[in-house]
Amino acid sequence: VIRVGLLGAAGRMGRRVRELVETEFAGQARLAASVSRGDPLASLLETDVVIDFSSPGAMSELARAALASPGGKLPAFVVGSTGWSAEQGRALAGLSGRAAILQSSNFSTGVLALLEILRWASPRLEKLGYEASVVERHHVHKKDAPSGTAISIRRAISPENPERVPVESIRSGEIVGDHEVAFRGPADHLVVGHFAHDRSIFARGAIETALWLSGRRDRPGMVPMETYFQERFR
Ligand SMILES: NC(=O)c1ccc[n+]([C@@H]2O[C@H](COP(=O)([O-])OP(=O)(O)OC[C@H]3O[C@@H](n4cnc5c(N)ncnc54)[C@H](OP(=O)(O)O)[C@@H]3O)[C@@H](O)[C@H]2O)c1
């Protein structure tokens, strides 16, 4: 049974992760450390894998604490928080020298499939004269805009120049997370999108990723989500 540490345990996502670890995943994982605002971080370093759904500030603080900890084996890290600054990103990159890390703005398999579809379709549609644009909709409590997923979508559409793809961010009510990509031509348009109905899709995806990543705990480095996706779904 894998020992899971949870950072951001009291948040919307953290609560979902806890529920699922204690029910669906009870035979495979147990919650060995659970950290909310104000709690010390050290207990997280005594686990096999940490799941982060807090904020880049909290996760980069944990990265620095992990790097400052004496020699022993570090857990693997599944990083879900979004809205990273360059400096916070450097703290995570530093940690990847000693620990296995998988960072993703979206752990739902549906979004991974959408990214694959976009990587295939975008160059073809743009060659035919269609122009891509993105609309993302989230609940009013969301702290970052555009969403991490919209940033990943931009990269899938235009790896060379993601910024050229316009993104409109809408914040309304309790929307879990919608991402819609339109390809507009002069006289028609195509739409492809992902619409999350429930946060459990992200929580389940993060736990499944954590179970997989804990098996690579001895191999430090940043593991791209695509590597995981290809191993699991191809
Ligand atoms: N990758 C994915 O699939 C995915 C899916 C959904 C959400 N997310 C991302 O995951 C993060 C959490 O989302 P959420 O909706 O669960 O947000 P949330 O409800 O605000 O939960 C975040 C939790 O982390 C705590 N926290 C934040 N900064 C902290 C710090 N510096 N030290 C200690 N605790 C801290 C918050 O405490 P306070 O309330 O006291 O600030 C809160 O309990 C966001 O970045 C969101 O964009 C990712």
Atom of ligand 1 nearest to the CA of 111: 3
Atom of ligand 1 nearest to the CA of 58: 31
Give the residue ranges of the chain where pLDDT is below 70.
234
Provide the pLDDT for residue 226: 85
DSSP string, 161-223: -GGGS-EEEEE-TT--EEEEEEEE-SS-EEEEEEEES-THHHHHHHHHHHHHHHTTTTS-EEP
Output the CA 79–ligand 1 centroid distance in Å: 11
Cβ–ligand 1 distance for 8 under 6 Å, the answer yes
Cβ–ligand 1 distance for 202 under 6 Å, the answer yes
Ligand 1, atom 31, residue with closest C-alpha = 58
Catalytic positions: 138, 142
Cβ–ligand 1 distance for 58 under 6 Å, the answer yes
Output the CA 7–ligand 1 centroid distance in Å: 9
Provide the pLDDT for residue 234: 66
The whole-model pTM stands at: 0.94
The rounded mean pLDDT for the chain is: 96
Output the CA 124–ligand 1 centroid distance in Å: 37
Output the CA 136–ligand 1 centroid distance in Å: 19
Ligand 1, atom 45, residue with closest C-alpha = 81
Provide the pLDDT for residue 108: 94
